[in-house]
C-alpha cells in the first residue's frame, strides 16, 4: 500500500481524493488549514515550509505520490489576486520542489496537480504574469493585473493555473522528474460542485458568469468523479502518463479552443524543434 500527500484534504476534490485513497487502503497525509494530519497555511512561505517538512516527517522521507488540490477561487476582493498566486501557484511549486527527493525515492511516484480549465477558457491573461510566476516573482506577476479592476481576481486565478500547468509540463520531462521515475501531470477540471464553486454561486456577479458559461455536456461535475480520475492518475495504469494536462470539463475547453491544439510545429518553429530533438539524443545516448 502506498503513502500519498494530499493538499486541500479537508474539502471538495482534495477531500474526495483523500477519502478514495484511504478507502483503497493507502496512507494519506492530508495538508489543510484544518482537519488534516498537517495543519498549515499555504499562503505564506513559512506555512509552505511547515507543510513541506511536516509531510516529509510523517512519510519517513518516501512518498509514492501527491495530489495538490489546495486552492482558492476568484471571489472579489482587493487582496485576492495576491492570495490566489500564493496558494494556487507557490503552494504547489514550493511543496513539490521540497518533496521531489522523497518522490524520487519511491521509484515510480505519481503527482497530480489540480489546475483548471480556466487555463484555456479565460481570455487575455497577460503573458507577463505567467512568465513572472515561472520566475518565482509574485510582485512582478501581480503588476499587469492592476488594470483589470474588478476582473483582477479572475485573471489572477487563470494566471495562477496557467502558471502551475506550464510548470508541470516544463518540469515533467526533465531528468529531475521523468528521469527520477516521477510522473508529473495535471488535471484541469471545469466547474465542479464543491464549497469553492458554491461560494462563487453565492456571489451574484460571479453566479451570473458561472451559469452563463458554455458547458456542452451541461451542469456541474462531481468531486467524487474527479477523485476517481486522480486515483487513476496515481495508479500503475498511468505509468506512461507524463506532462499531460487532462481536461475534465464537460467540453468547455473543446468548445472554445477546438482548433488551437493539437497542432503541428509551424515552419518558423523548426529550428527550435530540431534543437530539442538533438538535445534529447545527446543526453539520452
Residues acting as catalytic residues: 157
CA angle 64, 65, 71 (to 5 degrees): 155
* Binder of ligand NAI out of 3, 5, 6, 12 (CB under 6 A): 12
Q: Which of 32, 94, 231, 253 binds ligand NAI (CB under 6 A)?
A: 32
Q: How far apart are CA 207 and CA 197, in angstroms?
A: 9
C-alpha dihedral, 117 to 51 to 199 to 16, nearest 10°:
70
Interface with ligand NAI includes 94 (CB under 6 A)?
Answer: no
Select the span of 185-193, 211-219, 252-260, 268-276 touching ligand NAI (CB under 6 A): 185-193
Cβ 185 vs Cβ 246: under 8 Å: yes
Measured CA to CA, the distance from residue 264 to residue 11 in angstroms comes to 40
Q: With respect to ligand NAI, which residue has the nearer C-beta, 37 or 41?
A: 41
**Shortest reach from residue 267's CB to ligand NAI, in Å:** 36
Name residues contacting ligand NAI, limited to 187-206 (CB under 6 A). 189, 191-192, 194-197
Smallest separation, CB 72 to ligand NAI (Å): 5
Q: State the cell numbers at 106.
A: 519511491
- 30 forms part of the interface with ligand NAI (CB under 6 A): no
| Closest to 233 measured CA to CA, from 29, 1, 58, 4 | 4
Residues with Cβ within 8 Å of 253's Cβ and at least 6 positions away in sequence, in order, are: 117, 120, 121, 188, 190, 247
Q: Does 70 bind ligand NAI (CB under 6 A)?
A: yes
What residues between 114 and 133 interact with ligand NAI by CB under 6 A? 114, 116
Is 154 an interacting residue with respect to ligand NAI (CB under 6 A)?
no
Name the residues that contact ligand NAI, by CB under 6 A.
Answer: 8, 10-14, 32-33, 41-43, 69-72, 87-88, 114, 116, 189, 191-192, 194-197
Amino acid at each position: 500500500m502506498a503513502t500519498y500527500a494530499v493538499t486541500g484534504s479537508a474539502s471538495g476534490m482534495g477531500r474526495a481524493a483523500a477519502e478514495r485513497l484511504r478507502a483503497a487502503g493507502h496512507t494519506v497525509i492530508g495538508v489543510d488549514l484544518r482537519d488534516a494530519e498537517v495543519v498549515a497555511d499555504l499562503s505564506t512561505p513559512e506555512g509552505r515550509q511547515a507543510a513541506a517538512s511536516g509531510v516529509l516527517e510523517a512519510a519517513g522521507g518516501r512518498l509514492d505520490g501527491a495530489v495538490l488540490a489546495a486552492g482558492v477561487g476568484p471571489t472579489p476582493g482587493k487582496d485576492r489576486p495576491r492570495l490566489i498566486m500564493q496558494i494556487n501557484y507557490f503552494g504547489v511549486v514550493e511543496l513539490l520542489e521540497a518533496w521531489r527527493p522523497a518522490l524520487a525515492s519511491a521509484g515510480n511516484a505519481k503527482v497530480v496537480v489540480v489546475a483548471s480549465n480556466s487555463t484555456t477558457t479565460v481570455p487575455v491573461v497577460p503573458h507577463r504574469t505567467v512568465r513572472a510566476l515561472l520566475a518565482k516573482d509574485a510582485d512582478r506577476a501581480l503588476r499587469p493585473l492592476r488594470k483589470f479592476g474588478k476582473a483582477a481576481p479572475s485573471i489572477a486565478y487563470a494566471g495562477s493555473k496557467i502558471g502551475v500547468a506550464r510548470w508541470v509540463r516544463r518540469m515533467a520531462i526533465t531528468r529531475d522528474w521523468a528521469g527520477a521515475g516521477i510522473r508529473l501531470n495535471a488535471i484541469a477540471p471545469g466547474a465542479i460542485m464543491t464549497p469553492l464553486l458554491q461560494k462563487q454561486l453565492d456571489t451574484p456577479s460571479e453566479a451570473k458568469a458561472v451559469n452563463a458559461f458554455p458547458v456542452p455536456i451541461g451542469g456541474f461535475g462531481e468531486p467524487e468523479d474527479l477523485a476517481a480520475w486522480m486515483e487513476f492518475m496515481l495508479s500503475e495504469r498511468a505509468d506512461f502518463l507524463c506532462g499531460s494536462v487532462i481536461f475534465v470539463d464537460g467540453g468547455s475547453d473543446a468548445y472554445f479552443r477546438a482548433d488551437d491544439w493539437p497542432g503541428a510545429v509551424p515552419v518558423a518553429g523548426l529550428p527550435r524543434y530540431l534543437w530539442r530533438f538533438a538535445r534529447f539524443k545527446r543526453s539520452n545516448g
